Amino acid sequence: MRGAVLYAPGDVRVEERADPVVERPSDAVVRVVASCVCGSDLWTYRGVSRPSRPVPMGHEYVGVVEEAGADVRTVAVGDTVVGSFFASDNTCEICRAGYQARCVNAVPIGSLGAQAEYLRVPLADGTLVATPGPPDDDLLPSLLAASDVLGTGWFGAVAAQAGPGRTVAVVGDGAVGLLGVLAARRLGAERIIAMSRHAPRQALAREFGATDVVAERGDEGVARVKELTGGLGAHGVIEAVGTQESMMQAIRSTRAGGHVGFVGVSHGVELPGRELFFAQVHLLGGPAPVRRFLPELIDLIWTRQIDPGRVFDRTLPLDDAAEAYRAMDERTAVKVLLRP
Amino acid sequence: MRGAVLYAPGDVRVEERADPVVERPSDAVVRVVASCVCGSDLWTYRGVSRPSRPVPMGHEYVGVVEEAGADVRTVAVGDTVVGSFFASDNTCEICRAGYQARCVNAVPIGSLGAQAEYLRVPLADGTLVATPGPPDDDLLPSLLAASDVLGTGWFGAVAAQAGPGRTVAVVGDGAVGLLGVLAARRLGAERIIAMSRHAPRQALAREFGATDVVAERGDEGVARVKELTGGLGAHGVIEAVGTQESMMQAIRSTRAGGHVGFVGVSHGVELPGRELFFAQVHLLGGPAPVRRFLPELIDLIWTRQIDPGRVFDRTLPLDDAAEAYRAMDERTAVKVLLRP
């Protein structure tokens, strides 16, 4: 089959890879209908995370089950499925508490490579959720978004305790930040402050439910959020970037007793303990337990109550994966969908 | 009046200070019946926090209202009162959310000096809670503990989400850590792991409700907690020290999705963002909103359901404050009560 492989920073190639097969009875092999490039893939693409050898890429996918291992019970050959970016058994104590990305048997899908024609999904029952039927083609982008960026924005909003009567600020205007806005809105937040300086992203943030847009960053951005919140800061802040500046901006934009949901993969971040102590904000972050939210998210998409697929502003054939990475790296695209 | 003043690291003197008076209509002046030395005072005493001029010391107090400003409504002259270590209005949005130490009008009592014969308490209505009547003398240590160390341990246990069915580990065996054990027990935790290598403190931890004691620290301590929790880590961890080692020990001892309540005042701590991201624990810490808990804590003490005053293992006259600091600095005392 064809699949994307990163050889070195900036060097993504689509080449022949071995066809995946069912290796364990809990595996399923999925024919990938849609995949995409993630903001977190760019850390590797840019050389911030440097793999020591060529690695398959991609961890977001919608597909059709092609083959299912003997133990697979909840999805069947022919089902359209969406899966999370960590395979999880969904039965261990950590999964049952709702933290499936940290399942005791977790397998990162990124290590298997979803930017490909086929994907082996370990722990299929605990990882995949079938759609109610074959989806209309126009639902594919939204279903694909549920696999990571929507689930991640949703987790950020849940961790930021978005809800009725609350003001939520969102640091980061990539797909995750934009879908954090959508999630905060669906969860009932009264006021949503999107922090973005890019007009098209500001516009999408407003469509997703942002009530205010703040273009300033860093200390100025913090000051603007405080101005908008009676000097106190937001009740909750979603951090969707992962840098030192964005983390500190998120923490400082949150009122005492408020909640920071940080879902941008941290790179080079060191949090000063003393400031964190006196800030007295709740912090929760990390890889989103997408599997926790998938049934609800698929339902919201299936019934056309949300349209998270709007974050995809470009579609390319899988063979053009290199161009997809380039476009996202240069920020000429918010998110690129790849069709095998 | 007499009051303790720190001149330089290791140099605490009890000397004549101006008698405090009601300066604002919301002030009360309290005749201090009991005060004490806090673990957090030792940071200053040891020169880690270095004041630029002589500073009055002490922020924990039980007293009798001597004079009340015209606006004071909830306490009256002659009442025995316990107060929190931050004065708070208890009416602002932050206070109403339960974070009184971060009140928009907060005043640190430490800046006024409670190790003294008299203390001006700003925002008396929002800071002080009267006891139901004149307390028996043997209740004084426990009431004094409520002013900070009990309230702080309680906040740590609440932040660590101690409760039925949960395993809570406690890093630190000072008064706050020990009372964190007591709090976790009262809040219903099923299993409480005290981390201590000092036999008398281990014994007190067991009396307060610890079911297990771990003497190892750092990575070995983490490994022991994991062994005791099926490899997953504790549901919640109370951090009551404030160093890099103790914070990392707390975070690493917590299972994914679990809760760290960090109440040791952070000194020189830098939290690695990437580890925190993948640890996926809830973090909440900072100065305890003691005022939130005071009514309940006073009731538990008054009805003799808890005996937190047991953390005081020495009582000295106020004039011997220097000796009290020395004893705590050298860890020959857990906590020293001072009687003016």
Residue B205 phi/psi, 5-degree rounding, is -60, -45
* Pairwise CA distance, residues B306 & A298, whole Å: 50
Question: Residues with Cβ < 8 Å from A192, sequence gap 6 or more?
Answer: A167, A168, A169, A170, A181, A184, A185, A209, A210, A211, A212
Domain-by-domain residue ranges, chain B? 2-148+289-339, 153-285
Minimal CA separation from A24 to chain B, in Å: 25
Check whether domain B153-285 has CATH 3.40.50.720, yes or no: yes
Identify the three-state secondary structure at position A115: coil
Task: Give the mutation candidate from A93, A246, A254 for the B interface (greatest B CB count, under 10 A).
Answer: A93
Contact B44, B108 (CB under 8 A): no
**Tokens at A297, concatenated:** 């998210």
Average pLDDT over residues A36-62: 90
Contact B208, B179 (CB under 8 A): yes
pLDDT at A102 over 80: yes
Mean pLDDT for all residues in chain B: 97
Minimal CA separation from B269 to chain A, in Å: 5
pLDDT at B106 over 90: yes
Chain B positions in Cβ-Cβ contact with residue A102 (cut-off 8 Å) = 256-257, 278, 280
Interchain pair A93, B276: CB under 8 A = no
pLDDT at A126 over 90: yes
Please state the three-class secondary structure of B9-50 as a single string.
Answer: CCEEEEEECCCCCCCCCCCEEEEEEEEECCHHHHHHHCCCCC
Q: Which pLDDT band, with edges at 50, 70 and 90, does A48 fall under? A: confident
Question: Which is nearest to A255 in space by CA: A239, A236, A283, A273?
Answer: A236
- Kindly report the number of other CB atoms within 10 A of residue A264's CB atom: 27
Structure-token match 């992962």, residue found = A242
Interchain pair A272, B268: CB under 8 A = no
Nearest beta carbon to residue A257 from set B99, B274, B278:
B99
* Pairwise CA distance, residues A63 & A82, whole Å: 7
Length of chain A: 340
Nearest beta carbon to residue B269 from set A273, A279, A281:
A273
Nearest beta carbon to residue A271 from set B104, B270, B280:
B270
> Would you give the DSSP letter of residue B116?
B
Minimal CA separation from A160 to chain B, in Å: 11
Contact A173, A216 (CB under 8 A): no
pLDDT at A50 over 80: no
Q: Which pLDDT band, with edges at 50, 70 and 90, does A49 fall under? A: confident
pLDDT at B108 over 90: yes
Interchain pair A94, B272: CB under 8 A = no
Interchain pair B280, A276: CB under 8 A = no
Average pLDDT over residues B164-175: 97
Chain B positions in Cβ-Cβ contact with residue A283 (cut-off 8 Å) = 276, 282-284
Nearest beta carbon to residue B265 from set A231, A242, A277:
A277
Question: Residues with Cβ < 8 Å from A337, sequence gap 6 or more?
Answer: A34, A35, A36, A140, A141, A144, A312, A314, A315, A316
Q: Which pLDDT band, with edges at 50, 70 and 90, does A47 fall under? A: confident
pLDDT digits (tens, 9 = 90+) for B287-312: 999 999 999 999 999 999 999 999 99
Task: Give the mutation candidate from A43, A100, A284, A290 for the B interface (greatest B CB count, under 10 A).
Answer: A284
> Would you give the DSSP letter of residue A332?
S
pLDDT at B40 over 90: no
pLDDT digits (tens, 9 = 90+) for A197-214: 999 999 999 999 999 999
What are the E-state strand segments in chain B? 2-8, 11-16, 28-36, 55-56, 61-68, 80-83, 86-87, 107-108, 118-121, 128-130, 167-171, 191-195, 212-214, 234-239, 254-262, 270-272, 282-285, 314-317, 336-339
pLDDT digits (tens, 9 = 90+) for A244-274: 999 999 999 999 999 999 999 999 999 999 9
Q: What is the pLDDT of residue A26?
A: 98
Nearest beta carbon to residue B277 from set A279, A280, A286:
A286
Beta partners for residue A32, in sequence order: A63
Residues 26-85 on A with a CB inside 8 Å of B are none
Q: Which pLDDT band, with edges at 50, 70 and 90, does A304 fall under? A: very high
Q: Does A286 touch chain B (CB under 8 A)?
A: yes
Beta partners for residue B167, in sequence order: B191
Q: What is the pLDDT of residue A313?
A: 95
* Pairwise CA distance, residues A72 & A49, whole Å: 34
CATH of domain A152-285: 3.40.50.720
Q: What is the pLDDT of residue B229?
A: 98
pLDDT digits (tens, 9 = 90+) for B110-137: 999 999 999 999 999 999 999 999 999 9
Question: Residues with Cβ < 8 Å from A327, sequence gap 6 or more?
Answer: A314, A333, A336
**Tokens at A35, concatenated:** 């995949």
Model-level ipTM above the cut of 0.85:
yes
Average pLDDT over residues A225-241: 98
Task: Give the mutation candidate from A104, A269, A290, A291 for the B interface (greatest B CB count, under 10 A).
Answer: A269
Q: Does A273 touch chain B (CB under 8 A)?
A: yes
Minimal CA separation from A302 to chain B, in Å: 29
Q: Hey, what long-range contacts does A6-9 have (CB within 8 A, 24 or more apart)?
A: A6/A44, A6/A45, A6/A51, A6/A54, A6/A55, A6/A57, A7/A54, A8/A47, A9/A44, A9/A45, A9/A46, A9/A47, A9/A50
Interchain pair B269, A268: CB under 8 A = no
Identify the three-state secondary structure at position A40: helix
Contact A150, A178 (CB under 8 A): no
The alpha carbon torsion through A182, A184, A190, A196 (nearest 10 deg) reads: -60
Q: Does A231 touch chain B (CB under 8 A)?
A: yes
pLDDT digits (tens, 9 = 90+) for B233-273: 999 999 999 999 999 999 999 999 999 999 999 999 999 99
Half-sphere exposure of A74 (CA within 13 A, CB side): 16
Give the residue from chain B lying closest to A98, CA to CA: B257
Q: What percent of chain B has pLDDT over 90?
A: 96
Radius of gyration of chain B (CA): 19
Give the residue from chain B lying closest to A269, CA to CA: B273
Q: Does B244 touch chain A (CB under 8 A)?
A: yes
Q: What is the pLDDT of residue A51?
A: 78
**Tokens at B183, concatenated:** 């709090």
Chain A positions in Cβ-Cβ contact with residue B101 (cut-off 8 Å) = 280
Task: Provide the CA B101 distance to its chain's centre, in angstroms.
Answer: 12
Q: Does B295 touch chain A (CB under 8 A)?
A: no
CATH of domain A2-148+289-339: 3.90.180.10
Contact A217, A241 (CB under 8 A): no
Q: What is the pLDDT of residue B49?
A: 73
Contact A135, A121 (CB under 8 A): no
* Pairwise CA distance, residues A13 & B20, whole Å: 76
First CA to last CA distance, chain A: 10
Q: Does B262 touch chain A (CB under 8 A)?
A: yes
Interchain pair B271, A274: CB under 8 A = no
* Pairwise CA distance, residues A109 & A31, whole Å: 15
Binning chain B into helix, strand and coil, the percentages to the nearest 5 are: 35, 25, 40
Average pLDDT over residues B62-70: 98
Give the residue from chain B lying closest to A286, CA to CA: B277
Chain B positions in Cβ-Cβ contact with residue A269 (cut-off 8 Å) = 272-274
Nearest beta carbon to residue A102 from set B231, B265, B280:
B280
CB pairs under 8 A between A and B: 123
Beta partners for residue A29, in sequence order: A67, A120
Nearest beta carbon to residue A266 from set B101, B102, B276:
B276
Q: What is the pLDDT of residue B164?
A: 98
* Pairwise CA distance, residues B31 & B23, whole Å: 16
Q: What is the pLDDT of residue A43?
A: 87
Interchain pair B257, A287: CB under 8 A = no
Interchain pair B266, A280: CB under 8 A = no
Contact B85, B106 (CB under 8 A): no
For CA atoms A75, A76, A82, A84, the dihedral sign is positive
Contact B257, B237 (CB under 8 A): no
Identify the three-state secondary structure at position A249: helix
**Tokens at B333, concatenated:** 């005392």
Least confident of A41-50, A164-173, B66-75, B76-85: A41-50
Q: What is the pLDDT of residue A223?
A: 98
Q: Does A104 touch chain B (CB under 8 A)?
A: yes
Chain B positions in Cβ-Cβ contact with residue A279 (cut-off 8 Å) = 286
pLDDT at A115 over 90: yes
pLDDT digits (tens, 9 = 90+) for B198-246: 999 999 999 999 999 999 999 999 999 999 999 999 999 999 999 999 9
Q: In Å, how far are A39, A148, A198, A201, A254 from A334, measured between CA atoms?
A: 9, 14, 11, 8, 26
Interchain pair A269, B272: CB under 8 A = yes
pLDDT digits (tens, 9 = 90+) for B14-30: 999 999 999 999 999 99
pLDDT digits (tens, 9 = 90+) for A166-178: 999 999 999 999 9
Q: Does A133 touch chain B (CB under 8 A)?
A: no
Q: What percent of chain B has pLDDT over 70?
A: 100
Task: Give the mutation candidate from B239, B260, B280 for the A interface (greatest A CB count, under 10 A).
Answer: B280
